[in-house]
Structure 1
Amino acid sequence: ELLLTRVVGQPSVSSLRESPWNEAPTLAFRNEVPTQVNNKAAVHNAAQFRSPANDPILMKKLLELSDSKTEHLPGLLPFVPGMPVILTQNLAIELGLINGINGIFRQLVYEADSISIDALSNTFPSNTQYVHQSLYALIEIARSKIECNLETLQPKIVSVPLMEQTFRVDVTDMLPKNKKPKSNQKAMLSIKRRALPLVPAYCITTHKSQGQTLSKAVIDLKLPNETEDIAAVYVPLSRLKCLIDVAILRPFDYEVLRIKPSKSQVAEIERLDKLYIDTQFRFSEYFQ
C-alpha cells in the first residue's frame, strides 16, 4: 500500500519534470524500451542547448535496432553534454571500467570532416548533426579505480575507445514485400560494427540495474501480461534504500507484488543453501 502512494501524480510524486525525478533513471523490463526512451530523452535535453546535438530504408532500420540485438553497440548513439551513460563492454576490469558501470558524457572526439546533417532517423529532429567517424569519448566515471589523473584530463575522466563486434540479425521483417524470401526462410545478415560501447542511461533495463544502489529512481511496475518473474519487481525496488527515493511511473496491479518465485528459482535457492551448508562443513575453520 505504501508503494501506491508513490505513483506519479500522487502528492508525494507530483511530476517527473521536477527535481530529483528529472535526474533519476527509469527502470524498464523490456530491452526495447530503454532505447526508445533514451532517444526521446536525448532529443528533449538537446533542445535545451543552442548547438544541436546499399538500401537506405534498411540501413535506417538497422541503425535503429535495440543495442540488445547488436552486441550492445548501438547504431545511433545520441549525445548531449552531461548525459548519463552506461558502459556496455569491459574495458579494464582491474580499474573498475566494467560492463554496467555508470558515467557522465563530457566530450566526443571525432574526425572533423565526418559530420553531416543528412537525416539517418526520424527519431531525431531535422537539425541533428551526425558524426560518422568517432575516435573516442571522454566519460566521467566516479567509481573508476584509476588512482591518478590521466595526462591532460580532469580527475575521473576516462577515454572510452571504439570497439568492434560482429552480430547476425534477421532482416526479414525489414525488407519490402517484393524482396522478402519465399516460404518461411529467414534473411540473415552478418554485420560488423565499430562503435562506442556506451548507451544513454536516462532509462535502463531492470537487468542492467542489478548490483547498483540508486539515490533516486522511477520504476514502472505495470508488467507485460505474460511476465510472472519475481525479479521483474524485486530487482528494481531493491535498488533503493528508502520509500521516498522511489517514484512509481503509473498505477499498477497490486498483484504484481505477490508474485512468487518460480519452481526453478526455488530449486536454485535450495541448491545454493545446500552448497553453503556443505562448504561450511568442509571448510569449518574458515567459518569460526
Structure 2
Amino acid sequence: MSFLGPKLLLKIDNRLRQAFPRQQHEPFGGLSIILVGDLGQLPPVMDKPLYASHSTALALWHSFQTVVTLDTSFRQQGASNIQQQFRAILQNIRNANPLQTNWEALMSRSSSKLPIDHNKHFDNSIHLFATNASVKHHNTKMLKQLHLPVARCLAQNSRQTNPEYNNDEQLPSELLLSLNEQVMLIANLWIQAGLVNGSLGQIRSIIYDTDSRPPDLPKYVVVEFKNYSGPHWDNANPKFVPIPPITRGSRTQLPLAMAWALTIHKSQGLTLDKATVDIGKAEKQGLTFTALSRVKSLHDLRTEPLFSFERYSKLQSNAYTTMRKKEENRLSALSIQISASPPHQQL
C-alpha cells in the first residue's frame, strides 16, 4: 500500500464500479480489497501517501476497517545482539527518532572505518542512491570497468515518441548491454519460476538474428538468474534464461536495466545479500528507512559516503512524518478492536 497513492486508488475504484455496474454505488464495485504494506516506507512516485489524500480518496482509504498488524521482522530476524541492535536502529529510523548511538553504529559501517579485507566483500555489492543521476554515473563506471564491447540497443516504437522522454510504458528507450553486466528484470515474465520484476542476474550471451546488429534489438539475451527455478533451457547451465524483447503499449524493448546501482525507490521490496548505501543530502518520507532495511544484518551493510548526524536528524523534519504517525495510531486502534472481537468476527 505504500506504492499506492490517491490517484491510483481513485482509478481502481472508478474502474471496478464500471466493471460491476450493479454495485456501482459501493466502494470498489462491492469487491473485497486487501492492502498489504508498510506506511513507513517510501510513498508513491509523483503522488501522495494514502493518508495525505483529498476528501474523495481519503474516504475510500478510511473505508478499510479491518486491520491486521504484523509485528515480526523476518528480513532482519535472529536473536544475536547484532541483530537486535540492527532491528532497534531500523525501528528508530522508521519512527523518526534519530539517536546518536544509532548514527555511530551506522558510521562504523562506512568504507573508511571497515578493514580492507571486509571492504572487498562489498566491491560487487549493489549500490543504492537517492537520485537517478548517481545511479547512472555508477552504472556507467562499472560498465566501463568490464573492458568488453558494449551493444547499444534502441527500442522500437510504433508511434512517434518524444526523444526526451526516456521511459514509455516502463521500458527504456535505450539499453547498453555487455557480457557479465549486472542487470535487473523490470517485468513479471514468469512469477512461478522466479522471473519477476526486481530479479537480479548477469548477462552471459547476446544473440542477434543473422541480418541484425547493434543498435537493432537482439533476438534475446541470455541472463543467469540465481533465483530461477523453472525448467532448464541449457542443461549445462540450469540458471541461464533467454530474455527476448517484449512489447508494452507502443514500445518494444528488452525488459532489463543495468543494476550495479539502483535508486532507493527501485530497491523497495527487495532483499539484498549486501548493499552499499548513499542516503543523499535530503530526507524524504521513508527514504533512509527503506535504504538501510534492504539487507538482513548490519554486517551486510556499508554506508558510503559518511553522512553527518545533522543529515541523519532530518528524519524528523519531513512533512509527512507527523501525519503518518497519527494515521498509524488510528490503524493501531482499529487493529486492537479487531483483536478484541469474538473469534467468529475475525477474518
| Alignment TM-score, normalising by the size of structure 1 | 0.68
Equivalent AA in structure 1 for residue 114 of structure 2: S
Matched residue SS, 2:227: coil
Equivalent AA in structure 2 for residue 155 of structure 1: P
Equivalent AA in structure 2 for residue 158 of structure 1: V
- Which residue in the other structure is 1:105 paired with? 203
Q: Structure 1 residue 26 and structure 2 residue 111: aligned?
A: no
| Residues 136-168 of structure 1: per-residue CA shift (max 9 Å, x gap) | 12112222332x3236672122222211234xx
Partners of 1:6 and 1:13 within 8 A in 2: no
Instruction: Indicate how the Cα distance of structure 1 residues 151 and 240 shifts in structure 2: closer, same or farther if over 3 A, else same.
Output: closer
Instruction: Indicate how the Cα distance of structure 1 residues 70 and 255 shifts in structure 2: closer, same or farther if over 3 A, else same.
Output: farther
In the aligned structure 2, how far is the partner of 1:197 from the partner of 1:88?
Answer: 5
Instruction: Indicate how the Cα distance of structure 1 residues 20 and 89 shifts in structure 2: closer, same or farther if over 3 A, else same.
Output: same
Deviation at 1:65, TM superposition (A): 5.8
Equivalent AA in structure 2 for residue 91 of structure 1: L
Instruction: Indicate how the Cα distance of structure 1 residues 20 and 72 shifts in structure 2: closer, same or farther if over 3 A, else same.
Output: farther
In the aligned structure 2, how far is the partner of 1:151 from the partner of 1:207?
Answer: 34
Deviation at 1:270, TM superposition (A): 3.2
- Which residue in the other structure is 1:222 paired with? 280
Instruction: Indicate how the Cα distance of structure 1 residues 103 and 273 shifts in structure 2: closer, same or farther if over 3 A, else same.
Output: farther
- Which residue in the other structure is 2:246 paired with? 163
Instruction: Indicate how the Cα distance of structure 1 residues 76 and 154 shifts in structure 2: closer, same or farther if over 3 A, else same.
Output: same
Deviation at 1:202, TM superposition (A): 0.5
In the aligned structure 1, how far is the partner of 2:268 from the partner of 2:342?
Answer: 30
Partners of 2:274 and 2:301 within 8 A in 1: yes
- Which residue in the other structure is 2:43 paired with? none
Q: Structure 1 residue 270 and structure 2 residue 325: aligned?
A: no
Equivalent AA in structure 1 for residue 219 of structure 2: L
Instruction: Indicate how the Cα distance of structure 1 residues 246 and 152 shifts in structure 2: closer, same or farther if over 3 A, else same.
Output: closer
Partners of 1:111 and 1:133 within 8 A in 2: no
Aligned with residue 259 of structure 2, among 197, 201, 224: 201
- Consecutive unaligned residues of structure 2, counting only runs of 5 or more, are 1-103, 152-160
- Which residue in the other structure is 2:301 paired with? 246
Matched residue SS, 1:43: helix
Instruction: Indicate how the Cα distance of structure 1 residues 280 and 110 shifts in structure 2: closer, same or farther if over 3 A, else same.
Output: farther
Q: Structure 1 residue 235 and structure 2 residue 337: aligned?
A: no
| Residues 236-257 of structure 1: per-residue CA shift (max 9 Å, x gap) | 1112233332222212121343
- Which residue in the other structure is 2:73 paired with? none
Per residue, is there more helix in 1 or in 2?
Answer: 2
- Which residue in the other structure is 1:86 paired with? 184
| Residues 54-95 of structure 1: per-residue CA shift (max 9 Å, x gap) | xxxxxxx977865xx333322222222222211111112233
Partners of 1:62 and 1:75 within 8 A in 2: no
- Which residue in the other structure is 2:237 paired with? 154
In the aligned structure 1, how far is the partner of 2:335 from the partner of 2:202?
Answer: 39
- Which residue in the other structure is 1:6 paired with? 109
Deviation at 1:268, TM superposition (A): 4.2
Report 1:31-70 matches (<5 A).
31-45=132-146, 47=147, 49=148, 51=149, 69-70=167-168
- Consecutive unaligned residues of structure 1, counting only runs of 5 or more, are 54-60, 116-129, 167-191
Residue-pair matches, total:
231
Matched residue SS, 1:85: strand
Aligned with residue 212 of structure 1, among 270, 286, 298: 270
**What is the RMSD of the two structures over their aligned residues, measured on CA atoms?**
3.2
| Alignment TM-score, normalising by the size of structure 2 | 0.57
In the aligned structure 2, how far is the partner of 1:71 from the partner of 1:268?
Answer: 33
Partners of 2:206 and 2:218 within 8 A in 1: yes
Instruction: Indicate how the Cα distance of structure 1 residues 41 and 137 shifts in structure 2: closer, same or farther if over 3 A, else same.
Output: same
Matched residue SS, 1:263: helix
Matched residue SS, 1:252: coil
Instruction: Indicate how the Cα distance of structure 1 residues 62 and 33 shifts in structure 2: closer, same or farther if over 3 A, else same.
Output: farther
| Residues 96-149 of structure 1: per-residue CA shift (max 9 Å, x gap) | 22111212221122223332xxxxxxxxxxxxxx34131112112222332x32
Deviation at 1:219, TM superposition (A): 0.7
- Which residue in the other structure is 1:188 paired with? none
Partners of 1:63 and 1:76 within 8 A in 2: no
Equivalent AA in structure 2 for residue 135 of structure 1: K
